[in-house]
């Protein structure tokens, strides 16, 4: 069992620019129950893998970088799956926010539901990784059932935390009209969505699998075309707006 006063990290990125608004220090927490086909960080799967820090040590580190954050930046907890360390998150996020630091949670929404509301009450933004809206496709991508993340989404809607939604698009797996329509229908029902972003699948994680002697699940799958992904993103946003307009 992971101690609540210690957080276990696979890596820490002091000046991230893609995991939330502005310049951010990104803490990649160790441990993840999912095995996503396109995961590019297999080194984060193991629990208690890597360095450990207390909440106070996290704050001390963050304060060294705080002057670079400006008005938009802050701290992002990613993974792995950060909800695997919910007790540590609650304690640390509360401490950071009490020191005026913006906190984002980058999550797939899989964790102990007893902690969801407490975690969400201590973060300013949720970057939600929407693996799939369809339960069969979700299981194909993650190897797990969709129910736990649906529970998290329900709590997220009740709490009302702002949401960035992301989805990795993989050729011939979820770049289909059916998935994009299901995704649009799902997002259209959610409140407080401030951004929707489709991320193109890339193959840069393959070397990590080779190093860890793990079979790479998408060995024969090419990287997603960047321009096509951009067009799909634009179409998705338009479709979400269309659905919402129809349902008003």
Where are the chain's structural domains?
A: 7-247
Determine how β-strand 103-107 pairs with β-strand 125-129.
Answer: parallel
Rounded to the nearest 5°, which phi and psi values hold at 196? -130, 125
> What is the average per-residue pLDDT within 175-197?
97
Mean pLDDT value across the chain: 95
Do 99 and 63 form a contact (C-beta atoms < 8 A)?
Answer: yes
Average pLDDT of span 10-31: 95
Say how many residues make up the chain: 248
List C-alpha distances in Å: 23 to 18, 26, 68, 165: 8, 9, 7, 19
Question: CA torsion sign, 171 to 174 to 180 to 181?
Answer: positive
What are the helix and strand counts (H, E) for the chain? 8, 8
- Mean pLDDT over 102-117 rounds to 98
pTM of the entire structure? 0.94
Q: State percent of the chain over pLDDT 90.
A: 90
* Helix, strand, coil distribution of the chain in percent, nearest 5: 40, 20, 40
Structure tokens at 64: 């060294």
- CA dist., res. 103 & res. 75, Å (int): 5
Strand partners, 125: 104
Confidence grade of residue 233 (pLDDT, cut at 50, 70, 90) = very high
| CA separation for the pair 139, 158 (Å, rounded) | 25
How far apart, in Å, are the Cα atoms of 170 and each of 100, 121, 166, 198? Answer: 38, 33, 13, 10
Work out the pLDDT band at 44, boundaries 50, 70, 90. Answer: confident
CATH architecture for the domain at 7-247: Alpha-Beta Barrel (3.20)
Query: Per-residue pLDDT for 186 more than 60?
Result: yes
Closest CA to 124 of 70, 81, 74, 190: 74
- Which pLDDT band, with edges at 50, 70 and 90, does 78 fall under? very high
For CA atoms 179, 185, 191, 194, the dihedral sign is positive
Judge contact between 48 and 85, C-beta under 8 A: no
The reported pLDDT for the residue numbered 185 is 98
Residue predicted with more confidence, 212 or 110: 110
* pLDDT value, residue 213: 93
pLDDT band at 4; cut points 50, 70, 90: low
* Omega before residue 80 within 30° of 0, cis: yes
Query: Taking the CA of residue 35 as centre, how many other CA atoms within 13 Å lie in the half-sphere pointing to its CB?
Result: 10
> Residue 55, SS3?
helix
Q: What is the pLDDT of residues 187-224, one digit of tens each?
A: 999 999 999 999 999 998 898 999 999 999 999 999 99
pLDDT score, position 1: 39
Per-residue pLDDT tens digits for 56-77: 999 999 999 999 999 999 999 9
Mean pLDDT, residues 91-97 taken together: 98
- Could you count the other beta carbons within 10 Å of the beta carbon of residue 7? 26
pLDDT recorded at residue 2: 47
- The residue-averaged pLDDT of 85-108 equals 97
Say whether pLDDT at 36 is over 60: yes
Question: Is the pLDDT reported for residue 17 higher than 70?
Answer: yes
Q: Which two tokens stand for residue 5?
A: 């006063």
| Structural tokens at position 178 | 């059916």
Task: Determine the average pLDDT of the residues in 24-34.
Answer: 95
């Amino acid at each position: 069992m992971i101690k609540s006063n210690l957080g276990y990290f696979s890596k820490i990125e002091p000046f991230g620019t893609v995991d939330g608004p502005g310049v951010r220090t990104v803490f990649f927490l160790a441990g993840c129950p999912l095995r996503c086909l396109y995961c590019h960080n297999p080194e984060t799967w193991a629990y208690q893998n890597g360095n450990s820090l207390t909440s106070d040590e996290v704050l001390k580190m963050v304060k060294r970088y705080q002057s670079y954050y400006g008005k938009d930046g802050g701290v992002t907890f990613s993974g792995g799956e950060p909800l695997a360390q919910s007790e540590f998150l609650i304690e640390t996020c509360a401490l950071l926010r009490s020191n005026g630091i913006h906190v984002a949670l980058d999550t797939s929404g899989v964790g102990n539901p007893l902690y969801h509301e407490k975690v969400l009450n201590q973060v300013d933004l949720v970057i939600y990784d929407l693996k799939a809206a369809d339960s069969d496709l979700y299981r194909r991508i993650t190897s797990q059932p969709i129910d736990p993340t649906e529970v998290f989404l329900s709590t997220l809607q009740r709490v009302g935390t702002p949401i960035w939604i992301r989805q990795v698009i993989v050729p011939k797996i979820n770049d289909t009209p059916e998935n994009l329509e299901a995704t649009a229908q799902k997002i259209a029902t959610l409140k407080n969505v401030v951004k929707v972003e489709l991320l193109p699948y890339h193959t840069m994680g393959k070397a990590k699998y080779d190093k860890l002697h793990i079979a790479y699940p998408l060995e024969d799958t090419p990287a997603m075309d960047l321009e096509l992904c951009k067009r799909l993103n634009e179409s998705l946003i338009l479709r979400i707006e269309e659905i919402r307009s129809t349902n008003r």
